[in-house]
A and B are shown apart, each in its own frame.
Chain A
């Protein structure tokens, strides 16, 4: 029974992490119908920022996530302005491939500068701390990341659903021309959405440095999982992506424990295929 609780809680915690990583991607996809292929590399950049801030300036990632969030907001906005905007509307796959080019650029730049070594911050505030809950041992860094995930997803949802800016974002997502006629500067909205998408993944990357090692390939698996989460949740639906992330986390941890550790990602991608074939637009898609 305690095994079951442990596996359940581990699954929930990794699900929350995936939700945090995918939230920005989901928003970008929903508003602009663009897949940011460099999403995983954004995550990697954020992790490197917090790693170096922690390593050189000895500032804990518990605080530097603000810095990586802000930097990734700028990186996202710049990516939109210089790369995505130019390729938008030219051909269906052009933005995807342009951001794929960016991902190669970022990944290999970090490979070139920082070497492919795994780097893990030691001696952070939360390092190695655990607590017990219902017979399961929870690692504090993961728990804090999970809390942040809930806050970020809720804040994003509130922003989109309840604020005037959010209504403008929704209007732009539904009909760009009509939104422009209503006086919405859609250009600014796109810029902001890409920036916010970047900021979400920046926060995620910052917090992940408290318990995960950073290396140039770290983005690969996370971006694939984020794509799957977002598609599983349905076109740009933030609650959908959240539910999908939790589902993926649970599938991963239960297969990892009860079937075989090597099969956990096979199960993750297989469950995606099964669901998407039953509901071609995702769980919450319309």
Chain B
């Protein structure tokens, strides 16, 4: 039996899903490595959620921190303000993010290229400043979590962080599973068709507005899911942390450095960038503030000059002749 490339990807996916839960058991729950592993999975899921609309859909958004922030605030408000379980906040946050994303995108999809990108910058700034002065969500101080009992009920652990790892893994599997499913279904082909030529796709009967809005809503809802996890993990939410241009750029950079518009790109990007970020931050502090970000900046420049298709582009050198990288911006 010969495996097609797609089958191989599926098996790789299943194998990862089976093996990854055992890693924290091996390395010990509260360790720094455990933290890095959790962050890799979370950021890979975030990047993949962005990849839906911006990679497969071709609408490069710098506004995803808004949806991420809505998710984070939904979990935070549920725990801090309403003193219930974060689980009630998660679906509400995802729904709100989806609705907000549709309201924002419907007019903005008319804009092309840089006009769209700058509009999404402006939206992040507006949300950031509104949340800064909105007292009901804690304003500039943000929401600080109280001490909660450990366990799945509160989705909170204090000493061993294995629960967070499992949670991040679950989000990772859900997000990557959904994207895999889309890729194989009609929706995925519609999205690619709209990216490659909106007019052509429309002439063949694809309703490009519905397709793009659907992809955006899904992308926003998944970003909100990641945001809720982020709030639980950090035990606090404030506007600069979750709803800022810096956070938006993380979605963009991880995906692009990994390989935009490819299934494994976001995971590869997170796999390389997150350990780099966490370890340089931990071990280069004696060189003064900001050294980790200087290195980060240099890497971004080099990748953009040498291989804008990212890691997936680099990988395609190894299996030359097979297929040119699918990445396209």
A104–B294 contact, CB under 8 A? yes
On whether A227 and B110 interact (CB within 8 A), knowing A108-B297, A109-B290, the answer reads no
B297–A103 contact, CB under 8 A? yes
Q: Per-residue CB proximity of B129-157 to A under 8 Å, as 1/0? A: 11011000000000000000000000000
Distance in angstroms from A271 CB to nearest chain B CB is 10
B304–A101 contact, CB under 8 A? yes
Query: Bound state CA distance, A105 and B300, in angstroms?
Result: 10
- Chain A contacts of B323 at CB under 8 A? none
B125–A269 contact, CB under 8 A? yes
A112–B249 contact, CB under 8 A? no
Query: Bound state CA distance, A210 and B25, in angstroms?
Result: 59
A111–B125 contact, CB under 8 A? no
Query: Bound state CA distance, A206 and B50, in angstroms?
Result: 39
Distance in angstroms from A108 CB to nearest chain B CB is 3
- Chain B contacts of A218 at CB under 8 A? none
B114–A116 contact, CB under 8 A? no
B300–A262 contact, CB under 8 A? no
Distance in angstroms from B103 CB to nearest chain A CB is 12
Q: Which of B108, B123, B294, B305 contacts A86 (CB 8 A)?
A: B305
Closest to A272 in B: B122
B304–A97 contact, CB under 8 A? yes
A109–B110 contact, CB under 8 A? no
B296–A104 contact, CB under 8 A? yes
B118–A228 contact, CB under 8 A? yes
Q: Scan residues 220-246 of chain B and give those whose CB is less than 8 A from a CB of chain A.
A: 245
B115–A102 contact, CB under 8 A? no
Q: Per-residue CB proximity of B292-304 to A under 8 Å, as 1/0? A: 0110111111001
Distance in angstroms from A13 CB to nearest chain B CB is 22
- Chain B contacts of A94 at CB under 8 A? 304, 308, 329
A280–B291 contact, CB under 8 A? no
On whether A91 and B289 interact (CB within 8 A), knowing A104-B300, A112-B294, the answer reads no
Distance in angstroms from A228 CB to nearest chain B CB is 6
Decide if the interface of chain B is mainly helix, strand, loop or mixed: helix
Q: Scan residues 214-237 of chain A and give those whose CB is less than 8 A from a CB of chain B.
A: 220, 224, 227-228, 231
B300–A276 contact, CB under 8 A? no
Decide if the interface of chain A is mainly helix, strand, loop or mixed: helix
Q: Per-residue CB proximity of A221-259 to B under 8 Å, as 1/0? A: 000100110010000000000000000000000000000
On whether A112 and B291 interact (CB within 8 A), knowing A227-B121, A231-B118, the answer reads yes
Count residues of chain B with CB under 8 A from any CB of chain A: 46
- Chain B contacts of A280 at CB under 8 A? 110-112, 115
- Chain A contacts of B117 at CB under 8 A? 35, 93, 96
- Chain B contacts of A104 at CB under 8 A? 293-294, 296-297, 300
B102 interface residue per 8 A CB criterion: no
Distance in angstroms from B133 CB to nearest chain A CB is 5
B256–A100 contact, CB under 8 A? no
B92 interface residue per 8 A CB criterion: no
A171 interface residue per 8 A CB criterion: no
Q: Scan residues 292-329 of chain B and give those whose CB is less than 8 A from a CB of chain A.
A: 293-294, 296-301, 304-306, 308-309, 328-329
Query: Bound state CA distance, A104 and B273, in angstroms?
Result: 15
B298–A100 contact, CB under 8 A? no
A111–B304 contact, CB under 8 A? no
On whether A227 and B297 interact (CB within 8 A), knowing A266-B126, A266-B129, the answer reads no
B294–A92 contact, CB under 8 A? no
A125 interface residue per 8 A CB criterion: no
Closest to B294 in A: A108
B252–A97 contact, CB under 8 A? yes
- Chain A contacts of B197 at CB under 8 A? none
A87 interface residue per 8 A CB criterion: yes
Distance in angstroms from B126 CB to nearest chain A CB is 5
A277–B110 contact, CB under 8 A? yes
Distance in angstroms from A80 CB to nearest chain B CB is 12
B288 interface residue per 8 A CB criterion: yes
Q: Which of A101, A116, A273 contacts B119 (CB 8 A)?
A: A273
Query: Bound state CA distance, A9 and B298, in angstroms?
Result: 42
A83–B119 contact, CB under 8 A? no
Q: Which of B122, B293, B308 contacts A91 (CB 8 A)?
A: B308
Closest to B114 in A: A35
- Chain A contacts of B253 at CB under 8 A? 97, 100
Query: Bound state CA distance, A216 and B186, in angstroms?
Result: 48
A90 interface residue per 8 A CB criterion: yes
A112–B289 contact, CB under 8 A? yes
A144 interface residue per 8 A CB criterion: no
Closest A-B pairs by Cβ, 5 of them: A101-B300, A108-B290, A104-B297, A105-B297, A86-B305
Give me 8 A-to-B residue pairs in the complex whose CB atoms sit less than 8 angstroms apart, sorted by A's number: A33-B113, A87-B304, A102-B297, A108-B294, A111-B289, A112-B287, A224-B121, A273-B126
Point out residues on B near A: beta carbons under 8 Å.
Answer: 60, 107-108, 110-115, 117-119, 121-123, 125-126, 129-130, 132-133, 245, 249, 252-253, 256, 287-291, 293-294, 296-301, 304-306, 308-309, 328-329
